[in-house]
Amino acid sequence: MAFELKDLPYSHDALESNGMSKETLEFHHDLHHKAYVDNGNKLIAGTEFESMTLEEIIVKSFVKGEVAQSGIFNNASQHWNHLQFWEMMSPEKHNIPSELSSEINENFGSLDKFKEEFCAAGVGQFGSGWVWLVKNQDSSLSITKTENGVNPLCYNQTALLGCDVWEHSYYIDFRNKRPVYLSNFIENLVNWENVASRL
Ligand code: MN3
pLDDT at 94 over 90: no
Helix (H, G, I), strand (E, B) or coil at 15: coil
Q: How far apart are the CA of 148 and the centre of ligand 1, in A?
A: 10
> Distance between CA 12 and CA 144 in Å, rounded?
29
pLDDT in tens, 22-81: 999 999 999 999 999 999 999 999 999 999 999 999 999 999 999 899 999 999 999 999
pLDDT at 85 over 90: yes
Region 83-90: mean pLDDT is 98
> Distance between CA 58 and CA 43 in Å, rounded?
13
Q: What is the CA radius of gyration of the chain?
A: 16
Q: How far apart are the CA of 197 and the centre of ligand 1, in A?
A: 23
Q: How far apart are the CA of 151 and the centre of ligand 1, in A?
A: 13
66: amino acid identity, one letter: E
pLDDT of residue 120: 98
pLDDT of residue 93: 87
> Distance between CA 57 and CA 63 in Å, rounded?
12
Torsion sign (Cα): 88, 90, 93, 94: negative
Q: How far apart are the CA of 33 and the centre of ligand 1, in A?
A: 7
1: confidence class by pLDDT, cuts 50, 70, 90: confident
Kindly state the greatest CA–CA separation across the chain: 50
pLDDT in tens, 122-156: 999 999 999 999 999 999 999 999 999 999 999 99
pLDDT at 168 over 90: yes
Average pLDDT, the chain: 97
CB 101 within 8 A of CB 114: no
Please report, rounded to a whole number, the percentage of residues in the chain having pLDDT higher than 70. Answer: 100
Residue 159 falls in which region: left (phi positive, over 0), alpha (psi -120 to 50) or beta? beta
pLDDT of residue 67: 86
Contacts of 171 (CB under 8 A, 6+ apart): none
pLDDT at 195 over 90: yes
Q: How far apart are the CA of 129 and the centre of ligand 1, in A?
A: 9
